[in-house]
Structure 1
């Protein structure tokens, strides 16, 4: 069966060969939490759909309208099998409980590298921040170099990133962008990092050739589902 967990996902799980992120737009804060509960009830009433699904987590956006979904699959084929057999009945039940959900899109990724939680760090992340960085056409091969620059900039700024618990960099399988999933101690800690003066290393990150732009979003972890 499926059961709820309050634990945040382990994004470094080596079994997760196909991490997926998707976004739903539901309109209001009240509907955000109604949808979270509808997802929880729908999944808890059914068997866990496949051993190849490691975990499924839902996040409430600070914008009062969106939900982010993060699922860990062993491979893309396992997800395609789930879509054929199990997905639609879950979608129908959730839509009956909360009509009018807009499913914005699904992103497929591979995790490239992480700044992992330090040994002995027991903090529970108070805010999840995702930053999507888009690259110009033909620049997909330089995304790894850009992520490496970001990692070096973070290592050189321990004070400014004192509130950072971990950061996980994902490359979209379509070659177009990088998605950083970062766990912060709190929203205030993230605000302090944003307000800190930029070092030369961060200026190199921001001026990297081929970058088109970036979009950041803030979330609260709302629901975790794992096999029982």
Structure 2
């Protein structure tokens, strides 16, 4: 059973969350396999502690949840080694659409069922107005609301804040068959639903 709490690395200084658009289930699986091979290779950077890959339920793309030692060391890797490694992935799956990167750290969460099996992971983002403390206040209110009345099938929700304290990224875990409720229940936020695919850990 895969749960997000079991994927966390307490030694991670930053969590990077990104989405790749691939278009078809076949390309999505190929991209996921290529990415996991690169990050689990013997020459993979030691500053990458773990990478977890989730695929869209419709097969159109994937989500990457990467845990790194620090933001500074990741930036150094981007300058010195990322292009070659990503190039090897693109050689196998050309035309991947990368829609940006969220630099985050876990902030708060609520676990409603610690034993249930997560069949679907839903990801939603809330953009604040940038006021000091605005993202934290929204996340706090979100956790309180879920504790007061969570929808059926919701196992847990994990809220990350981005480095600028402007965005909240919510990753929620749902029991199989309950994912149909998520669009109406996740505070009206646009979201994408994923299934866990695989991990590369150190």
TM tier, smaller: 0.7 to 0.9
Matched, 1:19 2:15: yes
Match of 2:196 in 1: 221
* Length-normalised TM-score, structure 2: 0.86
Cα deviation for residue 8 of structure 1 reads 4.9
Match of 2:73 in 1: 78
- The 8 Å contact of residues 40 and 201 in structure 2, kept in 1 or not, is answered as no
Q: Report how many aligned residue pairs link the two structures.
A: 201
The aligned runs of 1:1-228 (5 Å cut-off) are 7-10=2-5, 13-50=9-46, 52-116=47-111, 118=113, 121-136=114-129, 138-157=130-149, 160-161=151-152, 163-186=153-176, 188-192=177-181, 214-227=189-202
Q: Note the alpha carbon deviations across 1:83-128, whole angstroms, 9 max, x for none.
A: 234322221111111111122111111221111365xx33331101
* Length-normalised TM-score, structure 1: 0.77
- In structure 1, how many angstroms separate the alpha carbons of the residues matched to 2:146 and 2:174? 13
The root-mean-square deviation of aligned C-alpha atoms, in Å, is 2.5
- The 8 Å contact of residues 8 and 221 in structure 1, kept in 2 or not, is answered as no
Cα deviation for residue 7 of structure 1 reads 4.7
Q: Note the alpha carbon deviations across 1:27-67, whole angstroms, 9 max, x for none.
A: 212111111122233334433411x3221011111243221
Q: Secondary structure at the match of 1:126?
A: strand
- Structure 1 gap ranges (5+): 1-5, 197-201, 207-212
Change (3 A) 1:140 1:155: same
- Structure 2 gap ranges (5+): none
Cα deviation for residue 154 of structure 1 reads 1.3
Q: Secondary structure at the match of 1:144?
A: helix
Cα deviation for residue 195 of structure 1 reads 6.0
- The 8 Å contact of residues 134 and 165 in structure 2, kept in 1 or not, is answered as no
Change (3 A) 1:13 1:94: closer
Moved more, 127-136 or 76-85: 76-85
- The 8 Å contact of residues 143 and 171 in structure 1, kept in 2 or not, is answered as yes
